Amino acid sequence: MTTLNDEILIGEGVRLESGSAPVTLRLASGIIDALVVVALWYVFSNVVDTLVMTSNYALAQAIVIVFVLVIFIGVPTTIETLTRGRSLGRLALGLRIVRDDGGPVSFRHAFTRALVGLVEVYGTGGLVAVTVSLLSSKGKRVGDYLAGTYALRTRGGTRALPPIGMPMNLADWARTADIRRLPDGLALTARLFLGRTGMLQPQARARLGSMIAEEFERYVAPPVPQGTHPESFIAAVLAARRDREYEFLIRQEERSAATSDLLRRLPHGVDDVEN
């Protein structure tokens, strides 16, 4: 059927590009980010030197370790999490780190990439990262493989895909259907297919839609109503998957807000007094 690497190639020779960034752009953005880290190191090294001079040896070692972890892991993780895959270098070159299924990265992905990058990028002078990226069809480095991410072009690459709507005739079915987690490659293939159906020849469009729908049937229950068009079925699954993930994030934020409010309260219902 297809091979999902940097592009999806169907039998008729029609290619659906995933928009992954080439190694040259990744290298340039990495150099910019590395310069920022070096600048932070230079600025705060004076503070560290002062603390080391006024501290004992054991405390000085602890300060240096904490400083290294904050600069090389904490800062990149925080920036990438808050900006959903951005950094100064990627912003300048129009790149973004996304999950293998095209979704936004979370703290787990950003932390994994930063932790591995401490050795892969800074520990080896970028040699390992560049070598692995050159051998990868999507320009991935080791941190991307472990985190399940890759760099996506947001400028000069593919245009934004149109949003997916829930087919009205499948809304009731999707509301109660059990949809298991789709493989990242299959989900991305289906998303790109729906966004580019107008580019495909009718026969290729029908054939590819049927093949993706057959793959989807392995991950949903009960089966879609008989006679449903494959593209409607694919859209319903992707839309339900998106909506459920959004609802989960909303509930998670509400629980976090409720927990924070509970922790701020004083015991026995005593109101806090403003100072």
Share of the chain above pLDDT 70, in %: 81
Above pLDDT 90, what percent of the chain? 21
Q: Give the span between the Cα atoms of 104 and 240, in whole angstroms.
A: 17
Written as six digits, the tokens of 225 are 């109503």
pLDDT of residue 110: 92
* β-strands 15-17, 7-9 pairing: antiparallel
The lowest-confidence range among 45-59, 231-245, 260-274 is 260-274
CB 93 within 8 A of CB 28: yes
What pLDDT score does 70 carry?
87
Checking if the pLDDT of 67 tops 60, the result is yes
Sequence ranges of the domains in the chain: 19-153, 168-264
Q: Is 99 strand, coil or helix?
A: strand
Tell me the per-residue pLDDT of 90-129, one tens digit each, with 9 for 90 and over.
988 888 898 887 778 889 999 999 999 989 988 888 889 8
Q: What is the pLDDT of residue 93?
A: 87
**Mean pLDDT throughout 182-209?**
84
